[in-house]
Amino acid sequence: MKELEQFGILEKDISLKKYNTYRLETEASYVLHPKDVGSLLSFLEFAQQNDVPYFILGNGSNVIFSDSKYEGVIVKLDLLNHISYEGQHVTVGAGVMMNFLALEIIKNGLSGLEWASGIPGTVGGCIFGNAEAYKTSTFEYLTTVTYIDKDLHLIKKEKDKLSHGYRTSYFKEHPENIIIEATFTFPKGTKEQSLELIRDRLQRRLSTQPLEYPSAGSVFRNPSSELASGKLIDDLGLKGKQIGGACISEKHANFIINIGGATGKDIRDLIKLIQEKVKEVYQIDLILEQETKDW
């Protein structure tokens, strides 16, 4: 589909292993990196007119890919990577990595994203799922979001007009909308204090999470603020349970890791097993936090 080349950088018949943090080996016919918002809009119009299947992918840090080849276009917004400052207001492209932004604002005397220094997701992806850690969420300092709706209109909305909650948002409930930019308002901070906080939390993550293996972070939402999914899974003795190359981490039971050669089916089967066991013993329906991609 040579026409796609006009919209940005195009990869053909490409392995998706580097595009998902589980490091699952699957393929796509095309991966498109639009060069700017105008190119993205032109592609979306082209796709609608020609019935071209596509989906938007952030850093692939919260997805479980299918094992079959995707016969469509995966759209990566990594070239929407601008960052601009107006005092404490920071406007950033959806393709900027959240952990990069956390360090970037510290250089400019701002704080509020120290919690996100270990989050391997894009700004767009973190808004989509309202990523959080240490009781702070992406929406906390968010001011406005600019997105493309299903009719290809550019919409800018204030945070208060966008529904959001624990690990969810308006965009997760309405995935036809494509986040392209966001503005945050951050408090002023001290570089030394922020970096010390980041170092402390990195040590905590290293000691409690299996960062040495490919994973996509927490698999399930916590059923409540008092009840952790990891503890429920651990109490069932499921740590170390393995299906194919997928394994429930011995370090953190709410992580599934790829110990080598895991497939999307391995991970999904392990997820199903966990959900069935937790339902059987505790009568609790664990809600999957990660997104499954079926094609």
Residue numbers annotated as active site: 167, 218, 289
Beta-bridged to residue 70, according to DSSP, are 28
Question: Helix or strand or coil: residue 119?
Answer: coil
C-alpha 145/C-alpha 161 separation (Å) is 10
Amino acid at the residue 46: F
| Paired residues of 156 in beta bridges | 146
Quote the longest CA-to-CA distance of the chain. Answer: 55
Assess contact for 32 and 75: CB atoms under 8 A: yes
The DSSP code sequence of 20-69 is: STT----EEEEEEEESSHHHHHHHHHHHHHHT--EEEESSSSSEE--SS-
Contacts of 78 (CB under 8 A, 6+ apart): 33, 95, 122
Q: In terms of Cα–Cα distance, which of 119, 116, 121, 157 is closest to 136? A: 116
Q: Coil, helix or strand for 143?
A: strand
The one-letter code for the residue type at 110 is L
- 69: phi then psi, degrees, rounded to nearest 5: -70, 140
Give the tokens for residue 12.
Answer: 């053909």
Q: Which helix (H) or strand (E) holds 251?
A: none
Strand partners, 9: 33
